[in-house]
Amino acid sequence: MVTFELNGQIKSFHIDQGEFLIDTLRRHHVVSPRRGCDTTSCGVCTVLIDDQPMPSCALLTARVNDKKVTTVEGIADFAAELSAYFGKEGADQCGFCNPGIALSVYAMAQTEENIDDDTIRHYLVGHLCRCSGYVSQTKAIKAFLEGRK
């Protein structure tokens, strides 16, 4: 049994000791963390643990006991606002990587200062995207963060 705060609500789940967070979440219908690579290389399974992005495919669920877990469902307004900028830049394609990116952008906005293109490219390096070529994403994120100032 593990108990953690999931998107603002305290939840308890029965788990296997060797189970990974992505499997627990998906089994309980939180599907925004997606399975992409199995090797912590792609970023599509990203969740925030105590506001820090981490790959949920590598995180034992038992270890997030008492922690705060945020998926994109927990930052819905932020994600919706970001998506408008993705739309404006044509940065949306298959979208499989988008929820993970939204979470990292959320964390980045809280921890980094004077965010420019380089900050974004460095911060998002762990989010692979095979569709967009990245530049439109970076532009959208920059415009979004400027819009929030």
DSSP tag of 60? B
d(CA 110, CA 51): 9
90, 110, 116, 147: which one contacts another protein (CB under 8 A)? 90
104, 106, 144, 145: which one contacts another protein (CB under 8 A)? 104
In the sheet that holds 52-55, the strands lie side by side as 9-13, 2-6, 68-70, 46-49, 52-55
What residues numbered 15-54 form the site for another protein, per CB under 8 A? 16-18, 20, 23, 26, 31-32, 34-44, 46, 49, 52-54
Please tell me whether residue 20 adopts helix, strand or coil conformation.
strand
Q: Does 89 help bind another protein (rule: CB under 8 A)? A: yes
* Number of residues binding to another protein, judged by CB under 8 A: 77
Select from 93, 98, 100, 106 the least CA-distant residue to 133. Answer: 93
State the minimum distance, in angstroms, from the CB of residue 145 to another protein. Answer: 15
State the minimum distance, in angstroms, from the CB of residue 83 to another protein. Answer: 4
